[in-house]
Amino acid sequence: MTRFFSRSGDRAEKDARIRLDAPHPSTGRRPGSLLRWRSVAGQVLVLQLALVVLLIAATLVTLVLQARSQSTADARHRSLALAEAFANSPGMVTALKSHDPTAVLQPRAEEVRKRSGVDAVVVYNAKGIRYTHPDPSLIGKHIIGPERFVKAELAGRSQTASFTATQGPSVLSDAPVFDTDGSFLGGVSVAITVQNVNAVVERQLPVLFSSAGAVLALSAGGAALVSRRLRRQTHGLGPAEMTRMYEHHDAVLHAIREGVVIIGGDGRLLLANDEARHLLELSADAEGRHVTELGLDPGTAELLASDHLVSDEVHLAADRLLAVSARPTAPYGGRTGSVATLRDTTELRALVGKAEVARERLKLLYDASVRIGTTLDVTRTAEELTELAAPRFADTVTVDLAEPVLRGDEPVSGELELRRTAVGGAHRDEPVFALGELILCPGSTPHARALETGKGVLEPDLRNSSTWRTQEPDLLRRLLDRGTHGLVTVPLHARGVTLGLATFYRSEHPEPFEEDDLAVAEELVARAAVCIDNARRYTREHTMAVTLQRSLLPRDLPEQEAVEVAHRYLPAQAGVRGDWFDVIPLPGARVALVVGDVVGHGLHAAATMGRLRTAVHNFSALDLPPDELLAHLDDLVTRTDLAQAAEDEGESVTGATCLYAVYDPASGHCTVARAGHPGPALVHPDGTVVFPEVPASPPLGVGHLPIETSELELAEGSRLVLYTNGLVESRDLDIGTGLDLLRTALSEAAATSPEETCQAVFATMLPAHPSDDIALLVARTRLLDPAQVADWEVPLDPAAVAHVRAACTRQLEEWGLDEVSFTTELILSELVTNAIRYGAEPVRVRLLHDQALICEVSDGSSTSPHLRRAATTDEGGRGLFLVSRFAQRWGTRHTPRGKVIWAEQSLADEQREAPVPLLDDLSW
């Protein structure tokens, strides 16, 4: 077995050698002779070797010249440095002035010369007489070239000169020596022969020649490899032979009636024959450009740039259908490009055209499922249908909807009044397609037939439409004048209800509508009808919720003198929420300011908001403190949650937040409590904006934790700003940033009225598309004039009642209220008598002259009086009955130290009744 494989391997190797040694079919030459001089490979090899040798020689010459230049420079530096160092060495001036300078300087100069390796260190005096020299016989003799020392003396600086001595190129440097007074004493001359250059070159020559040999060997090997590859590619052909072969191949390539293109691995066009240029309409400079830059169909360009194996794939090029076949040029590895052949198959154009039309129709229906119904707006959904269908399916598209649909209602059966809701396409601005126009469909027009039958109607040629010519000749003439030649009209049906009509017109499309187009239009309109009906239902529910919400909000704020109020309310665009606000007058000229927010949206949130607002009014009528009122409200929400959860099997939970503030204009005192709601902002009269610390409590219905209050003292002209979280918080705005923006807006509107403050805040902070309701309430405080308030302290003595009545009469005279003096005395007598008899100290009486006359009697007892009808035999029990008879309103409110019984009388003439004593009810 081993022998067999061995023989097989030998045979395969032998066959390979035979194939390599086989002569080329066109030249009859063997590859072994391909490196001869006349072949392209041989010429390239010789040229590469010549270039390498030339580069090596140039490198050697450059290195030698560089070494020589460097050695000369080193010699100049060394000699100059040594001369200056020796000339400036310590004791040099003393030695030159001594009686025997040679004895002092000669040993030192010789030692320096030997250590530094220079040729000579010569010290001479101002006359040029040597004191030192390597040759002692020259000491005492004049130096050669005295003129250079004169120059050195005149220049006063060191000099260096190059010269050629018997030893070869040398460098001589002179350094002057000056006395302490600046006079020239002599100089130091250092000579050095430039001998190192030859030594350096001789040391580097073996390395240079070795490197050059290695480079030559590597270059020769590389050139041989390149030449070998070139030999295989050119098959040993010479330039003339290759030119002749290219001419033969070029003649064959351009003579065939089939397009041939060769694309490189980088996607650039390498070659295209004449037929390919004709079929693809290529420009003269197409070769060398990327296929995506040739103006080809994207599919064709992608195919040509790829290395996919393709056979007879049909592509559209201009007005031709081409069958493209492609093969990679390197099937055994490497992405080097591809060659493609092109054949004109225009006879298949009709078939491909139908397939393309079918594909476009399918894509149109797919896009309809994505692009129609992106919003819950009826008009916008109709516009999306027109934008999708024009100009892809028709040139002009109109959508006419019934009037109730636009309002969110369901159209009634019978004749529909259609309103043109959307127009898209080429003639959208033409009067014949006017937007908002009332559309009539008389007789047997295509539109009337579509509405009557509930199916689409096709009119491929309007010029032959006898029904339109009879029923609406003017409309038909205007359509024909604008080039309209066909239409398809389809009713909008959804859930058994006809919503309107969609019509597709063609004027610039030369192809008439066909039965397949009618099917596509019906499918397209059916999808749009469902979306329009969804938008209609949403519009109805949204309108109902908004109507309910606005009906539950206060339309006109009640009259009161405690604060000047302005408000704003903006519902969310995405759905109705449960925000509300209120201003509630309270006894004693006080006022309650309320802002709240119900969790959730829709009708449920609006209804819950209405219940909570009603509850706040009812609890306010009991004159409860803010914390007690919110506690009762929390209990109400909790019970509502339990009931709702039982109905919805535990899935529905209601929550709400609320801020309740009570302001007293007589004292400027304000009590604030909040449950899960943002705290108020306070703008002082000087424009300073603060956010008072109001203890936070959980939202209503979440927990039964105690609710705390905050007591504020407000100066007259202060503005208390209450708001919901929709103003200061959203998806793109955190509450910290929102509060900073609110502070800035209120600071800029510091000296404005509440109405202007609302405008400034909304102008600064209102988002483009609010995702939550926004409620804003701005109240500017007022204070009662001290002259409008009168109070007295009453001792627990029945005799004090007469003094109180007298003081009250005098005060009413000062206020000019003599006409209510009798009823006021009667009311005060009964209230003060009850306080003295049944109450506790301290007892006080207070009169407030505001829009009404308010009488208040306070005492230290927490027992509340009750109105009842006394029997005939009863001696008492008629006092509160008299108070309720003569006062417009009366009531009791509790304070931390007792209670206050109040009675209010109207000062308006039309509301004030004449006091009629009820003698039958009086008992003394």
| Mean pLDDT of all residues in 427-448 | 78
Q: What pLDDT score does 737 carry?
A: 87
Which residue shows structure tokens 């060191």?
158
Alpha helices (H) along 438-514: 446-453, 466-471, 473-481
| Mean pLDDT of all residues in 797-823 | 85
Q: What pLDDT score does 596 carry?
A: 92
Determine the residue type at 512: P
Q: What pLDDT score does 198 carry?
A: 54
Q: How far is CA 457 from CA 476, 484, 533, 793, 811, in A?
A: 16, 16, 22, 93, 89
Across the chain, mean pLDDT equals: 79
Does position 108 have pLDDT exceeding 80, yes or no?
yes
Does position 914 have pLDDT exceeding 50, yes or no?
no
Contact 144, 165 (CB under 8 A): no
Tell me the per-residue pLDDT of 180-217, one tens digit each, with 9 for 90 and over. Answer: 887 888 888 888 887 644 555 566 667 767 777 777 77
Q: How far apart (Å, rounded) are the C-alpha atoms in residues 701 and 696?
A: 15
Q: What pLDDT score does 232 carry?
A: 65
Q: Is the dihedral of CA 685, 690, 696, 700 positive or negative?
A: positive
| Mean pLDDT of all residues in 883-909 | 80
Which residue shows structure tokens 């000749």?
473
Lowest mean pLDDT among 42-51, 93-102, 316-325, 779-788: 42-51
Lowest mean pLDDT among 116-130, 171-185, 646-660, 873-887: 873-887
Question: CA torsion, points 223, 226, 227, 231, in degrees to nearest 10?
Answer: 170
Does position 795 have pLDDT exceeding 90, yes or no?
no
Band of residue 31 on the pLDDT scale cut at 50, 70, 90: very low
Contact 321, 299 (CB under 8 A): no
Which tokens belong to 362?
A: 């399918």
Chain centroid to CA 257: how far? 57
Band of residue 879 on the pLDDT scale cut at 50, 70, 90: low
Contact 271, 261 (CB under 8 A): yes
Q: What pLDDT score does 776 carry?
A: 92
Lowest mean pLDDT among 373-377, 774-778, 832-836, 841-845: 832-836
Alpha helices (H) along 660-770: 725-728, 735-748, 754-765
Does position 680 have pLDDT exceeding 90, yes or no?
yes
pLDDT cut 90: percent of the chain above it: 15
Which tokens belong to 133?
A: 């020299």
Q: What pLDDT score does 591 carry?
A: 93
| Mean pLDDT of all residues in 415-427 | 84
Tell me the per-residue pLDDT of 33-91, one tens digit each, with 9 for 90 and over. Answer: 444 555 666 666 677 777 777 877 777 777 767 766 777 777 788 788 888 888 888 88
pTM over 0.85: no
Does position 640 have pLDDT exceeding 50, yes or no?
yes
Lowest mean pLDDT among 41-45, 55-59, 454-458, 617-621: 41-45
Band of residue 383 on the pLDDT scale cut at 50, 70, 90: very high
Q: How far is CA 613 from CA 57, 391, 584, 631, 764, in A?
A: 105, 54, 11, 15, 29
- Position with higher pLDDT, 30 vs 683: 683
Band of residue 32 on the pLDDT scale cut at 50, 70, 90: very low
| Mean pLDDT of all residues in 255-270 | 81
Does position 133 have pLDDT exceeding 90, yes or no?
no
Q: What pLDDT score does 919 carry?
A: 36
Q: How far is CA 778 from CA 577, 722, 756, 760, 762, in A?
A: 21, 6, 10, 12, 12
- In the DSSP assignment, the letter for residue 730 is B
Q: What pLDDT score does 826 carry?
A: 82
- Position with higher pLDDT, 239 vs 401: 401
- Contacts of 512-517 with CB under 8 Å at 24 or more apart are 512/460, 512/461, 512/485, 512/486, 513/458, 513/459, 513/460, 513/486, 513/487, 513/488, 514/458, 514/460, 515/458, 516/361, 517/393, 517/458, 517/488
Contact 304, 293 (CB under 8 A): no
Q: Are strands 120-125 and 789-794 parallel, antiparallel or unpaired?
A: unpaired
Choose among 440, 439, 478: nearest CA to 462. 478
Q: What pLDDT score does 922 carry?
A: 34
Choose among 167, 336, 201, 337: nearest CA to 261. 337
Q: How far apart (Å, rounded) are the C-alpha atoms in residues 757 and 778?
A: 7
Rank 241-255, 357-371, 634-648 by mean pLDDT and report only the highest. Answer: 357-371
Lowest mean pLDDT among 195-209, 386-400, 441-455, 827-841: 195-209
Q: What pLDDT score does 923 carry?
A: 33
Tell me the per-residue pLDDT of 290-304, one tens digit each, with 9 for 90 and over. Answer: 888 888 888 888 888
| Mean pLDDT of all residues in 636-653 | 66
Q: What pLDDT score does 629 carry?
A: 92
Band of residue 870 on the pLDDT scale cut at 50, 70, 90: low
Does position 457 have pLDDT exceeding 70, yes or no?
yes
Lowest mean pLDDT among 41-50, 735-744, 838-847: 41-50
- Position with higher pLDDT, 464 vs 246: 464
Give, for 895, the enclosing helix (H) or strand (E): strand 889-895
